[in-house]
A and B are shown apart, each in its own frame.
Chain A
Amino acid sequence: MRVKRGLADMLRGGVIMDVVTPAEAKIAEDAGAVAVMALERVPADIRRDGGVARMSDPIMIEGIQAAVTIPVMAKARIGHFAEAQILESLGVDYVDESEVLTPADESHHIDKWSFTVPFVCGATNLGEALRRISEGACMIRSKGEAGTGNIVEAVRHLRSILGDIRKVTQADQAELFDWAKQLQAPLGLVQEIAETGSLPVPMFCAGGIATPADASLVMQLGAEAVFVGSGIFKSEDPAPRAKAIVEAVTHYEDPAMVAKVSRGLGDAMPGLEIGELDTKLAERGW
C-alpha cells in the first residue's frame, strides 16, 4: 500500500492532463504536467458523441507512453476488471476506474486490492470515497461533472467530502457508529478519519477545471492536486493555458501569481450549464 499510494504522494501539488495523442502528451509534459491521462476522447467529446465509451486502444496508450517520461494513467470502465488487467499489463502507472466511461457493472466496482498497479476513483461524497478506499483505491478525486468546463459540481463534491471529514473529527465514539451507517462505509475507516482528520489516501480534484482561477479555488478548498480533462485541449490556445494552470496549482495561495499567469490566455473551453445536461456522469458509481 505504501508503494501504491506513494506515487499519488509524489503527484501532489501537480496537474494531471487528459491527452488523446502523443503530440498532446508532449505539450502537456512541456507545460509541466506531473502525469498524463491517455484516452481516446476527452470527456467533452464523449458527452457530445454519446454511445458506449470504453478503455482506449493499447496502441494509443503505448504511443503516449513512448512520447513522454512522466507517469501515464489510463481509464477503465467501472467494474470492468478485464480492462484494468489489460492496462496493468501495458504498464500504465495508474488506472482510473472512471465514471467518464460507460459503467460495465451496476453494483460492483473493481476489487483493486488484487492489482499491483494503483487505482484512482472518483467520489461525490465521503461515503463513496471510503467505499472506494475499502476496495483498494490509493487516490480519490472529486468527480465534478466531466466535460462541462463548469466547476460547480467539483466544488460541491470537495465541500461535501471535506466538510463531513471535519464533522467526523468532532464526533464521539458512539456517534462514529452512526456515521459509518449513514455513510455506508466501513467503521474502521471512519474511526481512522476521526483520529487523523484526513482521508488515508491523497484527494485530488477533477471535473470542470478550465482556468488557473478554478485550480486555485479547488486547491484552497483542500484538493491536493488537480486533473484537467477537456479544459486544456478544448481551449483556444492549449499550451499556455496548460502552463498557467500548472503555475496556479503551485502558487495557489498567492493571488498576484495567479493573476500574473491568467493574463492573455485566450478563450477557455465553452462551458455547459449543469441543469441542461441530459447525462450526469457523476451519478455513475455506487
Chain B
Amino acid sequence: MSAVVGVLALQGASREHTAALERLGVIVQQVRLPQDLVGIDALVIPGGESTTISMLLESSGTFEPMAQLLHEGLPVLGTCAGMILLAGDVLDGRPDQKTFAQIDIAVRRNGFGRQVASFESDLKIEGFEEPFPGVFIRAPVVQTVDRSVEVLASVELDGGKQSPALCRQGNVIVSSFHPELTDDLRIHQMFLANLN
C-alpha cells in the first residue's frame, strides 16, 4: 500500500510539494485542520511565511496534535519556513512565534537578507552524485548545529564561510532552500526512503 504523506497547506508552496510527492507515487493528504492528520505516515512543512503559518497552526488547533505526532517520531521534511518551524531555536523571529523544536539547530530568519539577496546555487549533497539546484528565497541561515545533527549540504555565505543548508537528525530533514521549486526529486526521494 502506498504511503500517505500529509502536506501542511495553511499557506505557502504546498502545491509544489504535492506535485513532487505524487510524481513519486505516494498519496498526499492536505493538512489544514487537526482531523487531516489522521492516518498520515509522514509530514511535509512547505515554504511560506513562517509567522503566518505559525499563527494559522494555533488558530486552527493543529499545532498541539501535530507537535504530539512529531514528538512520537513522525518523519518530517521542512523546507525554508518549514525549517524554521522545526528548528530548536529561532533568532530574529517574533517573540510569540512557536516552533516544534524537532531538530537541534538555531536558525536566523531572512539571514541572507531581503528578496534582492535571494539566489540560486548548485549544492554538493552527501550521497548525491550530481549537484542539486538550490533555490534560496529570503532564506534562513543555520547559525549553530548540535553534534547529533548530520549536515548533508552547505552553502557559502558572504565572506566565504560555509553554512549548513540541508540537515538531518533522526526522522527530521530540513533545508533552507526549496527543492519543491525545481524538477529535481532527489530530496523528496531521500525523505520517502526514510519511511521504509
Residues on A facing B (Cβ under 8 Å) = 2-4, 6-7, 9-14, 29, 31-35, 69-71, 88, 91-94, 116-118, 243, 246-247, 249-251, 254
B56 and A117 contact, CB distance less than 8 A: no
Whether B16 sits at the interface, judged by CB under 8 Å, is: yes
Whether B11 sits at the interface, judged by CB under 8 Å, is: yes
A246 and B12 contact, CB distance less than 8 A: no
- Total of A-B residue pairs, C-beta within 8 Å: 107
Give the contacting residue for B49; candidates A70, A91, A94; CB below 8 A.
Answer: A70
What are 10 inter-chain pairs, A to B, with CB distance below 8 A?
A: A3-B118, A3-B135, A6-B135, A12-B11, A70-B49, A91-B114, A93-B116, A246-B52, A247-B56, A250-B11
Whether B189 sits at the interface, judged by CB under 8 Å, is: no
B82 to chain A, nearest CB (A): 11
Assess A93 versus B115: contact at CB under 8 Å? Given A6-B181, A32-B55.
yes
A261 to chain B, nearest CB (A): 9
Give the contacting residue for B181; candidates A2, A13, A34, A246; CB below 8 A.
Answer: A2
**Residues of A close to B173: CB separation below 8 A:** none
A29 to B95, CA, bound (A): 13
B interface, size bucket:
35 or more
B59 and A247 contact, CB distance less than 8 A: yes
A29 to B10, CA, bound (A): 16
**Residues of A close to B135: CB separation below 8 A:** 2-3, 6
A112 to B119, CA, bound (A): 18
Whether B13 sits at the interface, judged by CB under 8 Å, is: yes
Name the 6 nearest CB pairs between A and B, nearest first.
Answer: A93-B115, A34-B49, A32-B55, A6-B137, A13-B11, A91-B114
